[in-house]
Amino acid sequence: MKKVLKYLCGIIVVVAVSAGTTWFVLQKASPEVVMTKVVNGDTVSTVPVQYQRFASLPHAGETDFTNAAELSVNAVVHVKTTYKSQSRSYMSDPFFEFFFGRPGQQQREMPAQQASGSGVIISQDGYIVTNNHVIDKAHQIQVVLNDKREFDATLVGTDPNTDIALLKIDATDLPVILMGNSDDLRVGEWVLAVGNPFNLTSTVTAGIVSAKARNINILNTDMKIESFIQTDAAVNPGNSGGALVNTRGELVGINTAIASQTGSYSGYSFAVPTSIVQKVVSDIKQFGIVQRAILGVQMQEITPELKKEKNLTTLQGAYVARVVEDGAAYKAGVKEGDVITGIDDTPIKTGTDLQEQIGRHRPGDTVTLTILRKGSLMTLTAELTNRQGGTTLLEKTDNAVLGAQFEELSDKMKEKLGIDYGIQVKNLKSGKLKNAGIPQDFIILKANNRVIRTEEDLNEVVDNALAASERDKVLFITGCTPQGRVQYYAVNLGE
């Protein structure tokens, strides 16, 4: 009987081959399995035209990076920055000392400083994503494409809270990287880092996703959102702002930092996920600023010690250490001691998860919170607010609390006053600044002991003060008039 079956199988195979039709399966660099049929020597495939060559390669699979590299390398650019040095060096003048009996000094301008990083083209008309720290305080930004064309770039907007910046160059028909979904990344999945480390252009390295939603405390802002993708793809200085892509050549992150004690790669690198990048870029393009949604809670990570101390029933979630009065969470009914375990349909395992999910929303959005309170689950609905506690979207020039617009200082004003930072009050209206006696054109240098270089810096200090208790809602401002007269003001934000 077995011989008969083997004989029949042989006949079936011969018939199939003699009929000129063979079916086989190709696994390309994507989750889909593509069926390809050969009929009388002609191949009929469902693979898209631009991917057919890659899919037909022998052994093409998840570990074949040629497809992803070719699709992404031309859309990663070299970002070169120039900085005007505001510092000056002084040297002794021996002739002055000889004639006047005391040391003299000469003032000498320091040369301009240069740095570089990477960027990713996300639209054919010239929008480029990079890191905020790559272009922060740069006097000039230049972009060099992979084909060696050079462009002066305009800074469209920045978000220090996520370390993302958006540039624009005057060009068309540029190669782009398609946005992928970083939420779909899995730990252990292969990824590529594409960038310009040590000025070595168009460098591609490979690694795996080592972890997700990683907080490494590198951003020095009050409202930072750190939920990095951790990989072991080699990233070095110059890679910042470059692309992290999956094996389909889709952008899943912007490379931002490395974990190193030497300044060079030593095992792990970190990228801002596209789930955050897309929201930041969309806000900057549409509004000029990032529309930051605020839940109004202070969180604490749940440790075994905290679990025991607070008699909690879980180690998963974000522990609510404090609820901001009249904030979104307060109005929704969240209480101190609650554990937030979910936002809408997304589980929350850590405070980092909560930050990322809230960071995807805009003021006025409504979210469903899953709360664990004294061992019982419940759901609450919260309407997220803006920095001022309202639910409306803010305009770039709108500062509803302070009642003014702000401009960064010109180089001429900086040179006149001998300073290298500060913002100037413009278009002063009725509001907190005017009530405190601050005049038009006043230059704000510090607020609550923090150096103010941009309006975003000031907004973060205001946000932090607004989140404080009623007694501490005060802004202590140090600044000067355009004539250089130093003045101090206390601005009450709680009235």
Tokens of 70: 């070719």
* CB atoms inside a 10 Å sphere around CB 196: 27
**What is the spatial distance between Cα 181 and Cα 278, in angstroms, rounded to a whole number?**
10
**What is the spatial distance between Cα 375 and Cα 338, in angstroms, rounded to a whole number?**
10
Q: Are 179 and 193 in contact, with CB atoms under 8 Å apart?
A: no
Q: Which of 64, 163, 338, 457 is catalytic?
A: 163
Tokens of 196: 């310009």
Annotated active-site residue 139? The verdict is no
Q: Which amino acid, 47?
A: V
Q: Are 475 and 461 in contact, with CB atoms under 8 Å apart?
A: yes
424-to-48, 104, 132 alpha-carbon distances in Å:
55, 35, 22
Tokens of 322: 């404090």
Contacts of 275 (CB under 8 A, 6+ apart): 181, 182, 183, 356, 360
Annotated active-site residue 398? The verdict is no
Neighbour-count burial for 345-382, b at 16+ CB within 10 Å, e otherwise: eeebbbbbbbbbbbbbbbbebebebbbbeeeeeeebeb
DSSP 41: T
Tokens of 93: 């003048």
> Cβ-count burial of 101 within 10 angstroms (0-12 exposed, 13-18 middle, 19+ buried)?
exposed
Q: Which of 30, 227, 240, 269 is catalytic?
A: 240
192 DSSP β-pair partners:
206, 245
Neighbour-count burial for 231-251, b at 16+ CB within 10 Å, e otherwise: bbbbbbbbbbbbbbbbbbbbb
Is beta strand 423-426 parallel, antiparallel or unpaired with respect to 76-83?
unpaired
Annotated active-site residue 133? The verdict is yes
Q: Are 79 and 153 in contact, with CB atoms under 8 Å apart?
A: yes
120-to-95, 204, 283, 351, 397 alpha-carbon distances in Å:
55, 14, 18, 29, 28
**What is the spatial distance between Cα 210 and Cα 207, in angstroms, rounded to a whole number?**
9
Tokens of 258: 């490395």
**What is the spatial distance between Cα 57 and Cα 168, in angstroms, rounded to a whole number?**
37
Query: Quick one: which of 289, 325, 218 has its CA closest to 460?
Result: 289
DSSP 74: G
Q: Which of 64, 72, 116, 133 is catalytic?
A: 133
Q: What's the 3-state SS for 139-171?
A: CEEEEECCCCCEEECEEEEEECCCCEEEEECCC
Query: Among all residues, which ones are annotated catalytic?
Result: 133, 163, 240
